[in-house]
Amino acid sequence: MIRPLFLIAFVAAGAHAERPADYASGVPLSSSGVSSFQRVAVPAAVYEGAVRPDLADVRVFNADGELVPFAWLPRPAAARARPDAVALPLFPLYVDRDRRDVSGMSLSVVRNAAGTAIDIRSAEPAPGPGQELGGFVLDASALTEPLSALVFTMPEAVGAPTMHLRVDASDDLATWRSVAPDAVLVFLESGGRRLVRDRVEIQPTRAKYLRLSWTVGRPVIEFTAVGAEFAEQVVESPRQWRVLQGTPVAEREGEFEYDLGGAYPVDRIDVVLAEPNSVVPAQILARANSTEPWQFVGSTVFYRLREPGGDVTSVPASVAGGARRYWLLRFDPRSGASASVAPPMRAGWQSAELVFAARGSPPFTLAYGNRLAGPGALPIATLVPGYDGAKGLPRNVLMALAGPPVKLGGPDRLREPPDVKRWMLWASLALGALVLGWMAWRLSREMGAAPEAGDAKLPPD
């Protein structure tokens, strides 16, 4: 008896197994080699054709139509990188040997037609009798990022194992501010070994010029070179971008609506301003469908300023809020932006990635678009043995490329199926009403027949 029941359960499970035809569309996946696992970035067609904004109605099938296990790859943390150090032009300052004070010196800069610094002069540009090196001026005017440290190339011989110096910053060579009042450099040598501390960290500083100096009684330091280091910067991951033409919102001046065509995980928004020297404060709103209320996701100031070297534009605004299809820009009316023409909007997103087990015969198909489908992905640590979030996927995981979308089950898979429970409930209510009506009709007939029975003649007394 147990064996037939097992066969029945097996056949029933097979009858309900998912097939590619259960999904509206799919994209074929191709790979350059053979690997146990493959990864693929979700193409734009999937975001537009999937029913669920969280892509829960996505599956992977092999060439035999068999479902293969897959998992969503966690988004990597923002990468950080430190730009390479840059050598700064170095100009010596000579002072009186007895005074050794650079604070009262008059400095000037001379530039050629290309704007390159070629000379920085003090009141005494060359060493004279009774003078010695009292410091340096560093030209940092060509740098665009704030400095976070200075790296010194030490001379072959130093006057002391520890050296103290002061670092000041200026934009005009006249007014100086201290950024490191007592920086210490170390140069120790013993038994053929060296201990060198040649780096001075400072608060992130943006200045055209830096001045190095040391006080009376401190040894003279004849640096051969000084390099500038910068703070770590976030390295933006590659994004896909789409330019949208919006429509003005009726009777709402300065509001423009945009339709992405799908629930993309947008995290950057930019606007292409037509007029130079435009500054437009704006609010950014979004929603998943046309019936939801708008939700605020960020605010920014878009601008386009004309400069001699070319136009300077605002960076894309960072927004959050999940996968949304519809977007609304609300411009501040005081900006003077046109209320009749919607400016083009650029939307950027990082495509989600999934990893699947390359089980069965290729080619594989990424299927999507099924209103009845629920989440089908495994945890990444379950799918890939030994997965380490810090190290990422093994190197032998190949990248699969998505082809053009193809039709699988067609648009019928996107339609809302009939609500059987609802119809059964209405049918039960209708049947109950009919039964109650029939019972009331029977009861009224019986009550109408009762008087006739009571009219029978009574026997005489």
pLDDT tens-place string over residues 322-372: 889 999 999 988 877 766 788 999 999 999 999 999 999 999 999 999 988
Q: What's the average model confidence in pLDDT over 199-205?
A: 87
Where residue 118 sits, what CATH number does that domain have?
2.60.120.260
Where residue 279 sits, what CATH number does that domain have?
2.60.120
Would you call the peptide bond into 363 cis, given omega within 30 degrees of 0 as the criterion? yes
Beta strand ranges found along 131-176 (DSSP E): 131-139, 147-153, 162-170
Residue 422 forms part of a structural domain: no
Task: Work out the pLDDT band at 99, boundaries 50, 70, 90.
Answer: low
Q: Which two tokens stand for residue 66?
A: 């068999």
Residue 216 and residue 260 in one domain: no
Q: State the chain's mean pLDDT as an integer.
A: 82
| Burial degree of 103 (CB within 10 A; 0-12, 13-18, 19+) | exposed
Residue 252 and residue 262 in one domain: yes
Greater model confidence, 311 or 268: 268
Q: Is the pLDDT of residue 290 over 50?
A: yes
DSSP H or E run through 310: strand 310-313
Quick one: which of 423, 357, 366 has its CA closest to 60?
366
Residue 202 and residue 336 in one domain: no
Task: Work out the pLDDT band at 73, boundaries 50, 70, 90.
Answer: very high
- Give every CB contact of residue 60 below 8 A, 6+ residues apart in sequence: 29, 67, 68, 70, 354, 356, 364, 365, 366, 367
CB 326 within 8 A of CB 290: yes
pLDDT at position 164 is 83
Q: What's the average model confidence in pLDDT over 367-387?
A: 91
**pLDDT tens string 149-189:** 999 887 776 666 778 888 999 998 888 999 998 888 887 77
| Least confident among 9-13, 295-299, 438-442 | 9-13
Residue 7 forms part of a structural domain: no
Task: Work out the pLDDT band at 5, boundaries 50, 70, 90.
Answer: very low
Name the domain boundary from 317, 349, 381.
349
Rounded Cα–Cα distance for residues 62 and 358 (Å): 8
| Burial degree of 460 (CB within 10 A; 0-12, 13-18, 19+) | exposed
How many Cβ atoms sit within 10 Å of the Cβ of residue 125? 15
How many domains does the chain divide into?
A: 3
Q: Collapsing DSSP states into helix, strand and coil, what is residue 28?
A: strand
Domain that holds residue 181: 86-234
Strand duo 353-357 + 310-313: pairing: unpaired
Rounded Cα–Cα distance for residues 384 and 381 (Å): 5
Residue 419 forms part of a structural domain: no
pLDDT at position 401 is 92
Residue 253 and residue 340 in one domain: yes
pLDDT at position 450 is 60
Residue 142 and residue 217 in one domain: yes
Rounded Cα–Cα distance for residues 156 and 389 (Å): 47
- Give every CB contact of residue 37 below 8 A, 6+ residues apart in sequence: 355, 356, 357, 358, 383, 384, 393, 394, 397, 398
| Least confident among 146-160, 238-252, 277-291 | 146-160
pTM: 0.63
Task: Work out the pLDDT band at 3, boundaries 50, 70, 90.
Answer: very low
Residue 224 and residue 135 in one domain: yes
Task: Work out the pLDDT band at 14, boundaries 50, 70, 90.
Answer: very low
Name the domain boundary from 234, 263, 281.
234
Rounded Cα–Cα distance for residues 316 and 250 (Å): 27
Q: Is the pLDDT of residue 284 over 70?
A: yes
Quick one: which of 134, 104, 132, 136 has its CA closest to 120?
136
